[in-house]
Homo-oligomer: A and B are copies of this chain.
Amino acid sequence: FVTFTNAQAQDPLPSWNDGPAKQAILNFVQVTTDKSSPQYVPTEQRIATFDQDGTLWTEHPIYAQVTYCLDRVPAVVKAKPELKNVEPFKTVLTGDRAAIAKLELKDLKTILAATLTGMTTEQFRADVKAWLKTARHPRFDRPYTELIYQPMLEVLKYLRAHGYKTYIVTGGGQDFVRVYAEQVYGIPPEQLVGTIGETKYGYAKDGKPILTKQPKLILNDDKGGKPEGIHMMIGRRPFASFGNTPGDQEMLEYTTAGEGARLGMLVLHDDAKREYAYGPAQGLPETKVGAFPQALYDKAQNRGWFVISMKNDWNRVYPFDK
Protein backbone atom coordinates (compact mmCIF):
# COMPACT_ATOMS: atom_id res chain seq x y z
CA PHE A 1 0.00 0.00 0.00
CA VAL A 2 2.85 2.33 0.80
CA THR A 3 4.42 1.48 -2.57
CA PHE A 4 1.20 2.30 -4.36
CA THR A 5 0.92 5.69 -2.67
CA ASN A 6 4.51 6.48 -3.58
CA ALA A 7 3.98 5.38 -7.17
CA GLN A 8 1.10 7.79 -7.49
CA ALA A 9 2.94 10.63 -5.86
CA GLN A 10 6.06 10.18 -8.00
CA ASP A 11 6.20 10.08 -11.79
CA PRO A 12 6.00 6.39 -12.69
CA LEU A 13 7.51 7.07 -16.13
CA PRO A 14 10.43 9.45 -15.48
CA SER A 15 12.25 8.55 -18.72
CA TRP A 16 9.28 9.66 -20.80
CA ASN A 17 8.86 13.24 -21.92
CA ASP A 18 5.40 14.72 -21.57
CA GLY A 19 3.42 14.18 -24.75
CA PRO A 20 0.66 12.07 -26.29
CA ALA A 21 2.53 8.74 -25.89
CA LYS A 22 3.21 9.13 -22.18
CA GLN A 23 -0.27 10.51 -21.60
CA ALA A 24 -1.83 7.54 -23.44
CA ILE A 25 -0.09 5.07 -21.11
CA LEU A 26 -1.07 6.97 -17.97
CA ASN A 27 -4.67 7.35 -19.15
CA PHE A 28 -4.93 3.69 -20.10
CA VAL A 29 -3.78 2.49 -16.68
CA GLN A 30 -6.00 5.00 -14.93
CA VAL A 31 -9.24 4.11 -16.72
CA THR A 32 -8.68 0.34 -16.64
CA THR A 33 -7.69 0.05 -12.97
CA ASP A 34 -9.87 2.66 -11.25
CA LYS A 35 -12.87 0.77 -9.87
CA SER A 36 -15.18 3.70 -10.47
CA SER A 37 -14.22 3.88 -14.17
CA PRO A 38 -16.70 2.53 -16.75
CA GLN A 39 -13.69 0.95 -18.50
CA TYR A 40 -12.48 -0.84 -15.37
CA VAL A 41 -10.87 -4.23 -16.10
CA PRO A 42 -10.91 -7.01 -13.45
CA THR A 43 -7.37 -7.90 -12.32
CA GLU A 44 -7.35 -11.42 -13.79
CA GLN A 45 -8.04 -10.00 -17.27
CA ARG A 46 -5.19 -7.47 -17.20
CA ILE A 47 -2.81 -8.71 -19.87
CA ALA A 48 -0.22 -6.62 -21.71
CA THR A 49 2.01 -7.97 -24.49
CA PHE A 50 5.36 -6.69 -25.74
CA ASP A 51 7.31 -7.51 -28.83
CA GLN A 52 11.00 -7.74 -27.94
CA ASP A 53 13.45 -6.91 -30.77
CA GLY A 54 13.25 -3.16 -31.38
CA THR A 55 10.52 -2.75 -28.76
CA LEU A 56 12.26 -3.75 -25.52
CA TRP A 57 15.87 -3.87 -26.69
CA THR A 58 18.09 -2.87 -29.59
CA GLU A 59 17.82 -4.97 -32.77
CA HIS A 60 20.42 -3.21 -34.94
CA PRO A 61 22.70 -3.85 -36.70
CA ILE A 62 21.38 -7.45 -36.49
CA TYR A 63 19.14 -9.44 -34.11
CA ALA A 64 21.09 -10.69 -31.08
CA GLN A 65 19.82 -14.23 -31.59
CA VAL A 66 21.17 -14.34 -35.16
CA THR A 67 24.55 -13.23 -33.82
CA TYR A 68 24.32 -16.01 -31.24
CA CYS A 69 23.69 -18.56 -33.99
CA LEU A 70 26.62 -17.32 -36.08
CA ASP A 71 28.87 -17.33 -33.01
CA ARG A 72 27.85 -20.93 -32.28
CA VAL A 73 28.99 -22.21 -35.69
CA PRO A 74 32.61 -23.01 -34.67
CA ALA A 75 31.36 -25.18 -31.78
CA VAL A 76 28.90 -26.95 -34.08
CA VAL A 77 31.62 -27.63 -36.65
CA LYS A 78 33.95 -28.85 -33.91
CA ALA A 79 31.32 -31.41 -32.90
CA LYS A 80 30.62 -32.30 -36.54
CA PRO A 81 33.90 -31.77 -38.47
CA GLU A 82 32.25 -32.95 -41.71
CA LEU A 83 30.48 -29.55 -41.87
CA LYS A 84 33.77 -27.66 -42.12
CA ASN A 85 33.81 -27.49 -45.90
CA VAL A 86 30.04 -27.38 -46.37
CA GLU A 87 28.18 -24.13 -47.07
CA PRO A 88 26.96 -22.04 -45.38
CA PHE A 89 29.17 -23.14 -42.46
CA LYS A 90 32.33 -22.63 -44.52
CA THR A 91 31.48 -18.97 -45.15
CA VAL A 92 30.58 -18.32 -41.52
CA LEU A 93 33.88 -19.85 -40.37
CA THR A 94 35.86 -17.37 -42.51
CA GLY A 95 34.55 -14.56 -40.27
CA ASP A 96 34.20 -12.42 -43.41
CA ARG A 97 31.39 -10.07 -42.34
CA ALA A 98 30.58 -8.91 -45.86
CA ALA A 99 30.26 -12.48 -47.13
CA ILE A 100 28.18 -13.49 -44.08
CA ALA A 101 25.85 -10.53 -44.59
CA LYS A 102 25.18 -11.79 -48.12
CA LEU A 103 23.97 -15.23 -47.00
CA GLU A 104 20.51 -16.08 -48.26
CA LEU A 105 17.49 -16.87 -46.11
CA LYS A 106 17.83 -20.60 -46.77
CA ASP A 107 21.46 -20.50 -45.58
CA LEU A 108 20.40 -18.66 -42.44
CA LYS A 109 17.74 -21.30 -41.81
CA THR A 110 20.37 -24.03 -42.09
CA ILE A 111 22.50 -22.23 -39.51
CA LEU A 112 19.53 -21.68 -37.19
CA ALA A 113 18.56 -25.36 -37.37
CA ALA A 114 22.14 -26.45 -36.65
CA THR A 115 22.62 -24.09 -33.71
CA LEU A 116 19.16 -24.07 -32.12
CA THR A 117 18.18 -27.75 -32.29
CA GLY A 118 19.57 -31.18 -31.52
CA MET A 119 20.61 -30.45 -27.93
CA THR A 120 18.66 -30.79 -24.69
CA THR A 121 16.76 -27.76 -23.39
CA GLU A 122 19.17 -27.63 -20.44
CA GLN A 123 22.28 -27.69 -22.64
CA PHE A 124 20.80 -24.95 -24.84
CA ARG A 125 20.07 -22.83 -21.80
CA ALA A 126 23.65 -23.23 -20.57
CA ASP A 127 25.07 -22.34 -24.01
CA VAL A 128 22.99 -19.16 -24.31
CA LYS A 129 23.80 -18.14 -20.75
CA ALA A 130 27.53 -18.52 -21.40
CA TRP A 131 27.27 -16.56 -24.66
CA LEU A 132 25.37 -13.67 -23.06
CA LYS A 133 28.18 -13.25 -20.53
CA THR A 134 30.87 -12.73 -23.14
CA ALA A 135 29.15 -11.37 -26.27
CA ARG A 136 29.32 -7.61 -26.83
CA HIS A 137 27.30 -5.33 -29.07
CA PRO A 138 29.57 -4.06 -31.90
CA ARG A 139 28.73 -0.36 -31.43
CA PHE A 140 28.09 -0.01 -27.71
CA ASP A 141 30.61 -2.65 -26.58
CA ARG A 142 28.24 -3.85 -23.86
CA PRO A 143 26.37 -7.10 -23.23
CA TYR A 144 23.19 -7.28 -25.32
CA THR A 145 21.15 -7.50 -22.13
CA GLU A 146 22.24 -3.97 -21.20
CA LEU A 147 20.83 -2.56 -24.46
CA ILE A 148 17.30 -2.54 -23.11
CA TYR A 149 15.09 0.52 -23.17
CA GLN A 150 14.75 2.21 -19.79
CA PRO A 151 11.39 3.82 -20.73
CA MET A 152 9.95 0.39 -21.56
CA LEU A 153 11.26 -1.09 -18.30
CA GLU A 154 9.30 1.67 -16.59
CA VAL A 155 6.15 0.77 -18.54
CA LEU A 156 6.53 -2.91 -17.62
CA LYS A 157 6.97 -2.04 -13.95
CA TYR A 158 4.13 0.49 -13.97
CA LEU A 159 1.71 -1.98 -15.56
CA ARG A 160 2.70 -4.75 -13.13
CA ALA A 161 2.27 -2.40 -10.18
CA HIS A 162 -1.31 -2.00 -11.37
CA GLY A 163 -2.08 -5.70 -11.62
CA TYR A 164 -1.16 -6.28 -15.25
CA LYS A 165 0.55 -9.51 -16.22
CA THR A 166 3.24 -8.57 -18.72
CA TYR A 167 4.09 -10.98 -21.54
CA ILE A 168 6.76 -10.94 -24.20
CA VAL A 169 5.40 -11.96 -27.62
CA THR A 170 8.47 -12.18 -29.83
CA GLY A 171 9.46 -13.59 -33.19
CA GLY A 172 12.66 -14.65 -31.42
CA GLY A 173 13.02 -18.13 -30.00
CA GLN A 174 10.98 -18.82 -26.88
CA ASP A 175 13.79 -20.83 -25.28
CA PHE A 176 16.39 -18.20 -26.21
CA VAL A 177 14.59 -15.23 -24.70
CA ARG A 178 13.56 -17.20 -21.61
CA VAL A 179 17.21 -17.48 -20.61
CA TYR A 180 17.44 -13.78 -19.67
CA ALA A 181 13.87 -12.39 -19.65
CA GLU A 182 13.21 -12.98 -15.97
CA GLN A 183 16.38 -11.25 -14.82
CA VAL A 184 16.38 -8.50 -17.44
CA TYR A 185 12.68 -7.63 -17.81
CA GLY A 186 11.12 -9.31 -14.76
CA ILE A 187 9.18 -11.56 -17.17
CA PRO A 188 9.06 -15.21 -16.06
CA PRO A 189 9.39 -18.16 -18.51
CA GLU A 190 5.66 -18.89 -18.36
CA GLN A 191 4.96 -15.38 -19.72
CA LEU A 192 7.20 -15.79 -22.73
CA VAL A 193 5.50 -16.34 -26.09
CA GLY A 194 8.03 -16.77 -28.87
CA THR A 195 8.76 -18.75 -31.95
CA ILE A 196 8.45 -22.30 -30.66
CA GLY A 197 10.19 -25.43 -31.84
CA GLU A 198 9.04 -28.89 -30.88
CA THR A 199 10.85 -30.74 -28.09
CA LYS A 200 10.97 -34.51 -27.70
CA TYR A 201 10.80 -36.28 -24.36
CA GLY A 202 13.35 -39.04 -23.78
CA TYR A 203 16.00 -40.32 -21.41
CA ALA A 204 19.70 -39.59 -21.03
CA LYS A 205 22.21 -42.44 -20.70
CA ASP A 206 21.84 -42.28 -16.93
CA GLY A 207 18.07 -42.69 -17.27
CA LYS A 208 17.20 -39.09 -16.39
CA PRO A 209 14.36 -37.49 -18.37
CA ILE A 210 15.46 -35.00 -21.01
CA LEU A 211 13.77 -32.80 -23.59
CA THR A 212 15.60 -32.56 -26.90
CA LYS A 213 15.04 -29.60 -29.21
CA GLN A 214 13.68 -30.70 -32.61
CA PRO A 215 14.02 -28.96 -36.00
CA LYS A 216 10.25 -28.68 -36.31
CA LEU A 217 8.39 -25.41 -35.87
CA ILE A 218 5.28 -25.35 -33.67
CA LEU A 219 4.66 -21.62 -33.87
CA ASN A 220 6.15 -18.94 -36.10
CA ASP A 221 5.42 -16.08 -33.73
CA ASP A 222 5.20 -13.29 -36.28
CA LYS A 223 2.29 -11.47 -37.97
CA GLY A 224 -0.86 -13.65 -37.59
CA GLY A 225 1.24 -16.03 -35.51
CA LYS A 226 1.29 -13.46 -32.71
CA PRO A 227 -2.44 -13.52 -31.93
CA GLU A 228 -2.37 -17.29 -32.55
CA GLY A 229 0.45 -17.64 -30.00
CA ILE A 230 -1.36 -15.33 -27.58
CA HIS A 231 -4.45 -17.51 -27.79
CA MET A 232 -2.41 -20.66 -27.21
CA MET A 233 -0.21 -19.38 -24.39
CA ILE A 234 -2.56 -16.93 -22.65
CA GLY A 235 -6.09 -17.67 -23.84
CA ARG A 236 -7.20 -14.09 -23.24
CA ARG A 237 -7.17 -11.02 -25.46
CA PRO A 238 -4.61 -8.47 -24.23
CA PHE A 239 -5.65 -4.96 -23.23
CA ALA A 240 -2.37 -3.38 -24.30
CA SER A 241 0.20 -4.34 -26.94
CA PHE A 242 3.53 -2.79 -27.92
CA GLY A 243 5.49 -3.47 -31.08
CA ASN A 244 7.63 -1.81 -33.75
CA THR A 245 7.08 -3.46 -37.16
CA PRO A 246 4.41 -4.97 -39.46
CA GLY A 247 5.14 -8.25 -37.65
CA ASP A 248 3.21 -6.74 -34.74
CA GLN A 249 0.29 -5.42 -36.78
CA GLU A 250 -1.99 -8.43 -36.26
CA MET A 251 -1.25 -8.42 -32.52
CA LEU A 252 -2.24 -4.77 -32.27
CA GLU A 253 -5.34 -5.37 -34.40
CA TYR A 254 -6.38 -8.27 -32.18
CA THR A 255 -5.75 -6.33 -28.97
CA THR A 256 -7.43 -3.10 -29.98
CA ALA A 257 -10.46 -4.87 -31.50
CA GLY A 258 -11.50 -5.86 -27.98
CA GLU A 259 -14.17 -3.98 -26.05
CA GLY A 260 -13.40 -1.21 -23.58
CA ALA A 261 -10.14 0.70 -23.31
CA ARG A 262 -7.35 -0.87 -25.35
CA LEU A 263 -3.88 0.43 -26.04
CA GLY A 264 -1.75 -0.16 -29.14
CA MET A 265 1.72 1.39 -29.40
CA LEU A 266 4.59 1.22 -31.90
CA VAL A 267 8.19 2.28 -31.29
CA LEU A 268 9.70 4.38 -34.11
CA HIS A 269 13.48 4.32 -34.23
CA ASP A 270 14.26 7.91 -35.17
CA ASP A 271 17.27 8.49 -32.97
CA ALA A 272 20.55 7.82 -34.78
CA LYS A 273 22.49 9.62 -32.08
CA ARG A 274 21.45 7.62 -29.03
CA GLU A 275 20.37 4.40 -30.81
CA TYR A 276 19.48 3.98 -34.51
CA ALA A 277 17.30 5.67 -37.09
CA TYR A 278 15.39 3.55 -39.56
CA GLY A 279 11.99 3.54 -41.21
CA PRO A 280 11.38 3.99 -44.06
CA ALA A 281 8.36 5.67 -42.43
CA GLN A 282 8.57 9.48 -42.11
CA GLY A 283 11.54 9.61 -44.50
CA LEU A 284 13.84 7.66 -42.18
CA PRO A 285 16.52 5.44 -43.78
CA GLU A 286 15.61 2.07 -45.29
CA THR A 287 16.65 -1.06 -43.39
CA LYS A 288 16.55 -4.84 -43.74
CA VAL A 289 16.23 -5.32 -39.98
CA GLY A 290 13.03 -4.18 -38.27
CA ALA A 291 11.65 -1.93 -41.03
CA PHE A 292 8.75 0.39 -40.10
CA PRO A 293 7.04 1.23 -43.43
CA GLN A 294 4.95 4.34 -44.01
CA ALA A 295 1.87 2.13 -44.50
CA LEU A 296 2.15 0.97 -40.87
CA TYR A 297 2.58 4.54 -39.71
CA ASP A 298 -0.55 5.55 -41.59
CA LYS A 299 -2.45 2.57 -40.27
CA ALA A 300 -1.50 3.55 -36.72
CA GLN A 301 -2.98 7.04 -37.24
CA ASN A 302 -6.08 5.44 -38.69
CA ARG A 303 -6.57 2.94 -35.88
CA GLY A 304 -5.74 5.19 -32.96
CA TRP A 305 -2.47 3.42 -32.20
CA PHE A 306 0.28 5.61 -30.77
CA VAL A 307 3.67 5.91 -32.41
CA ILE A 308 6.44 6.38 -29.86
CA SER A 309 9.22 8.63 -31.18
CA MET A 310 12.40 7.44 -29.53
CA LYS A 311 13.92 10.86 -30.15
CA ASN A 312 11.08 12.98 -28.82
CA ASP A 313 9.28 10.78 -26.32
CA TRP A 314 12.25 9.33 -24.45
CA ASN A 315 14.60 11.51 -22.41
CA ARG A 316 16.73 8.43 -21.71
CA VAL A 317 17.19 5.35 -23.87
CA TYR A 318 19.32 2.84 -21.93
CA PRO A 319 19.59 2.28 -18.18
CA PHE A 320 23.27 3.26 -18.40
CA ASP A 321 22.44 6.64 -20.00
CA LYS A 322 22.43 9.44 -17.46
Contact B228 A189, beta carbon cutoff 8 Å: no
Shortest Cβ gap from A254 to chain B (Å): 5
Contact (A235, B199) CB under 8 Å given A211-B227, A218-B219, A227-B211: no
Q: Which residue on chain B has the smallest CB distance to residue A237?
A: B209
**CB-based nearest B residue for A167:** B190
Q: Which of A53-95 contact B (CB under 8 A)?
A: none
For A225, the chain B residues whose CB sits under 8 A away are: 201
Please report the C-alpha to C-alpha distance between residue A218 and residue B198 in the assembled complex, in whole angstroms.
9
Are A209 and B250 in contact (CB-based, < 8 A)? yes
Number of interface residues, chain A, beta carbon within 8 A? 37
The chain B residue sitting closest to A202, CB to CB, is: B224
Q: How far is the CA of A257 from the CA of B208 in the complex (A)?
A: 7
The answer, yes or no, to whether A196 is at the interface (CB within 8 Å) is yes
Tell me whether A189 and B232 are in contact in the complex, defined as CB-CB below 8 angstroms, given that A209-B250, A218-B219 are known contacts. Answer: no
Which 9 A-B residue pairings sit nearest by Cβ, starting from the closest? A189-B235, A201-B224, A190-B234, A209-B254, A201-B227, A209-B257, A209-B253, A199-B228, A178-B235
16 A-B pairs (CB sep. < 8 Å)? A44-B182, A174-B235, A190-B190, A190-B234, A190-B235, A190-B236, A192-B235, A196-B232, A198-B228, A199-B231, A201-B224, A201-B225, A202-B224, A211-B227, A218-B219, A233-B233
